[in-house]
Amino acid sequence: MKHVRSRDNLVHLGPFFEKKGVFLKSIAAKPSLWTGVDASHKHGTLDGKEWDPWGLRVMRTIQSQAKEYPDLDNALVAFLEGAHTAFTERFSDEFIKGGALDRLTDEERAELFFSTTNDVNEGALGSWRLGQRHRPAETIHKFNASFVSTRNDTEEFHREKLSEEEDERYLHKIAREKDASKLQKQIKDAQMRADAEKVAENHQKDAKRQEKRQNKATAITETGKQLVLEDALIDTLNVTDLNRQLDWHRDNENSIPGLQEKVPLKTHMGKKADRVRELKRAVERYQVFGGSSSVVAEDVRMVEEPKDDDALESDYEDNMV
C-alpha cells in the first residue's frame, strides 16, 4: 500500500500489480520462504528490502511457533492461492495480459488518469463531519458549494471569466432564486416527517411486541391451571397443546435458580415425538422441585390432530416474543 500511495495515477501501476501476483505465487509454491528458519527478506518481501520492526517480530514469532502448527504451510498455501485469485481476477483484472489497460497505447495511457486510492471520497465525508463540528448551523448545500468551489478553484474562474457587470447581475439573480426556493427548508421538513414516521412505526412495533408478550403470558397462566402431568395423557396431546405445556414449564424453570437442564427451544425439537419426550422430562423435573402428580387437568382443550405427526404447523405461534 505504501508503494500505491506513492503514485498518483493507477494506470501506471500495471508492472507493480504483475510483480505482486508473481510474488504471491512464489510464496504459495514455497511457504518455507515465510515459515522456515532460514526465511529471508530477500525472497520473503515484495520489494526485497529488510523487514520493518513489526514484520521482523511477526516472522520471528512464526518461526518460533511453526512446529506447534503442523498444518501451517497448508493453511498458508490455501490463503495465498485465494489471495492471488482475488487480486488478479477481481482487483487488478484490467492489467492482465489482454485486459482493458494492457491494450492501450502509450499515447492513450498518457491521457488517462485514475486515482490510486479512494481517499477523495473518504475525505469528503470526513470534511463534512469536521465541518459540522466547527459550523453546526451550516447546511449541506452551503458545505457542498464551498467544497466544490475550493476543489474547482471557482474564485479564479470567476475573476477571469465572469468579470462583467452583466455576469454579476446574472449570478445574483440565480442566488436569489435559490434562496427563494427554500430548498434547505424543504429538506429539513422532509427529514422531520421521516423522523416522525419512524417514531410512529417504532411505537407500533413496540405495541405489537407488548401485545404478543401479554398474549403469551395469558396463555401460560391459563395453561398452568390445566397442567398435564401423566405420561399416558401426554401421549394423547396434539402439537398445539404440547407447545402450550412446554411453554409453561420453560417459563417456570427459568424462575428456578441453578437449574441446569431446562426445556429446549422449539427449534431444537423438530418432531412431535421430540416434544413429547421433552415434556415428560419437564414434568419429572417439575415434580422433583415441588410439583404434585395429583394436579392433573381434566379439561385440557384438545384440537384436531395434524394429519402429519411430524408437521409442527398449528394455530399456536412458535416464535412468540
Q: Give the domain-ending residue among 111, 131, 166.
A: 111
The pLDDT, as a whole number, for residue 221 is 92
Q: What is the pLDDT of residue 236?
A: 94
Name, of 36-40, 105-109, 221-225, the range with top average pLDDT: 221-225
Residue-wise pLDDT for 125-158, tens only, equals 777 887 888 888 888 888 888 888 888 888 888 8
Pick the last residue of a domain from 79, 111, 143.
Answer: 111
Q: Calculate what percentage of the chain has a pLDDT beyond 70.
A: 85
pLDDT for the residue numbered 315: 38
**Domain ends where: 82, 111, 140?**
111
Q: How far apart are CA 124 and CA 178, in angstroms?
A: 24
For residues 18 and 88, give the distance between their C-alpha atoms in angstroms, rounded to a whole number.
8
In this structure, the answer to whether residues 211 and 248 fall within a common structural domain is yes
Res 74: pLDDT = 93
Q: Give the cell for residue 129.
A: 463531519
Q: Is the pLDDT of residue 300 over 60?
A: no
Q: What is the pLDDT of residues 226-253, one digit of tens each?
A: 999 999 999 999 999 999 999 999 999 9
Specify whether 129 is located in the same domain as 95.
no
Q: Which domain holds residue 262?
A: 204-321
Same domain, 50 and 106: yes
Per-chain mean pLDDT for the chain? 82
Query: In sequence order, what are the residues at sequence separation of 6 or more whose Cβ sits closer than 8 angstroms to the Cβ of residue 17?
Result: 87, 92, 95
Q: Which three cell numbers stand for residue 119?
A: 481517499
Same structural domain for residues 123 and 104?
A: no
Could you tell me if 283 and 217 are in contact, meaning their C-beta atoms sit under 8 angstroms apart?
no
100 and 14 both lie in a single domain: yes
pLDDT band at 298 (very low <50, low <70, confident <90, very high): very low
Tens digit of each residue's pLDDT (9 = 90 or more) over 8-65: 677 777 778 888 888 899 999 998 888 888 888 888 888 888 888 888 898 889 888 8
One domain, residues 82 and 158: no
pLDDT in tens, 261-283: 899 988 889 899 999 999 999 99
Structural domains counted in the chain: 3
First to last CA, the chain: 49
Count of Cβ atoms closer than 10 Å to residue 19 Cβ? 14
Do 163 and 126 reside in the same domain of the chain?
Answer: yes
pLDDT at residue 77 in the model:
93
Categorize the per-residue pLDDT at 116 as very low, low, confident or very high, splitting at 50, 70 and 90: low
DSSP H or E run through 143: helix 140-152
